[in-house]
Amino acid sequence: MKLVLIGTGYVGLVTGACFAEMGNVVTGVDIDEGKINALSQGQIPIYEPGLETMVRSNIKAGRLNFTLDLESAIQDACMIFIAVGTPPREDGSADVRHVLAVAEKLGQLLKHDAVIVDKSTVPVGTADRVRAIIEEGLRARGLKIRLDVVSNPEFLKEGAAVEDFMRPDRIIVGCSEASTRALMEELYAPFMRNHQKLMFMKPRDAELTKYAANALLATKISFINEVALLAERLGADIEQVRLGIGADQRIGYHFIYPGCGYGGSCFPKDVKALVGMAHEQGLEPVLLQAVEQRNALQKQVLFCKLTELLGSDLQQRSVTLWGLAFKPGTDDIREAPASVLIRQLLAAGAQIRAHDPVAVANSRMEFAQAVSEGRLQYFEDPYHALEGSDALVLVTEWKPYRQPDFTRIRSLLRTPILIDGRNQYTPERVRQAGLVYSGIGR
């Protein structure tokens, strides 16, 4: 099939590359000339395991190309995917201006029957709005063509997006036309060699499914984090509690790992957007608001632990952070707990030494002023970042941090404090090395 992906950000690039990998001819369209030029040379703007190799191989094979020219790209397209960003507004609701701008442009340019697929995460009812805008543009041009607008939300985990797309657990498609359903079945057939994974529903159902899925996962995280704080007060170990409740098949072990809060571009944004949708409908989303509030509070925990162990005056203190990305496997620092902690430490006058396998460049841009002032330093070696520090804080559970040399850590730190923000370490093992251990809910 000949496919067009409008928007070459995270979702658009992964989607386009994976469709091309299955033999389709894909054109990625964007308005950013610098990005298009870089992508055409196989240079991708994000870190995602396996993506760069896939992009380059499909460019070489002629199945993946990039352009600024939307009009020429859509001429013979079988399907047109909208994958532009939907950032949060100040009130937390999703900003769909870019999606609607694409719809307006398509209304001005389309000349033949078209299937438009919303891949962006959009509020319920957006597919209807996209259809209305395109049809209005066609009427203004005196054109009448067959048009269908589909909701096909992505369920990609950063750090495993390629794997998730190539081997999905389900593919949600919101559409009404039988012919469009057949087209989507044909497109996704290579991704379902083992068993049927397509789930068809109405567009509004599909749009809400995306938000509900992320909100439920965020709820599980906030729940276990709140119970972890209670466990700490009661002298219980949340890790044992987690194993106990996870053994119940109705609950399961996924997303009940206590830590220092969730971040990234999905959970925070989607929970807030769902809250916004509820308010628009006159509903008070008490549970969703509590999920968001608990997460915001959870991101304060690491700083509170530092002040409990080092004292409230951090002016002469140095703190080392292991991990800057919001999760392992990505360079994304949006809403990252590490960024929250860095801001708190800077405000308290502390010196910061940090390491991350891939997210340093993004963090350096985010905190450029602190770097220029010498208050925040980045190191290529995690152990070098420890030299002379008063505490080590594990913020992101990257694999290279999983089994460190605790004796070496103790010898490098000025004050032997290890704060485990992800409960990665066995407290007894850390203490045997002469370190003060503090975890989450332990």
Which residues are annotated as catalytic?
Answer: 266
Cα 159 → chain centroid = 9
Dihedral angle of Cα 51, 53, 59, 65, to the nearest 10 degrees: 20
For residues 157 and 88, give the distance between their C-alpha atoms in angstroms, rounded to a whole number. 19
- DSSP tag of 401: G
User: CB-based contacts of 302: which residues, under 8 Å, 6+ apart?
Assistant: 260, 337, 341, 393, 395, 419, 421
Q: How far is CA 374 from CA 42, 341, 346, 371, in A?
A: 35, 17, 11, 5
For residues 67 and 318, give the distance between their C-alpha atoms in angstroms, rounded to a whole number. 48
- The phi and psi torsions of 377 (rounded to 5 degrees) equal -120, 145
For residues 17 and 3, give the distance between their C-alpha atoms in angstroms, rounded to a whole number. 11
- Please choose, from the candidates 351, 440, 333, 341, the residue with its C-alpha nearest in 3D space to the C-alpha of residue 388: 351
Dihedral angle of Cα 206, 212, 218, 219, to the nearest 10 degrees: -160
Give the 3-state secondary structure of 315-355: CCCEEEEECCCCCCCCCCCCCCHHHHHHHHHHHCCCEEEEE
- Please choose, from the candidates 24, 25, 118, the residue with its C-alpha nearest in 3D space to the C-alpha of residue 80: 118
For residues 318 and 300, give the distance between their C-alpha atoms in angstroms, rounded to a whole number. 18
For tokens 């350096």, name the residue: 364
User: CB-based contacts of 156: which residues, under 8 Å, 6+ apart?
Assistant: 10, 11, 14, 164, 165
For residues 435 and 419, give the distance between their C-alpha atoms in angstroms, rounded to a whole number. 10
- The phi and psi torsions of 436 (rounded to 5 degrees) equal -80, 125
For residues 85 and 385, give the distance between their C-alpha atoms in angstroms, rounded to a whole number. 36
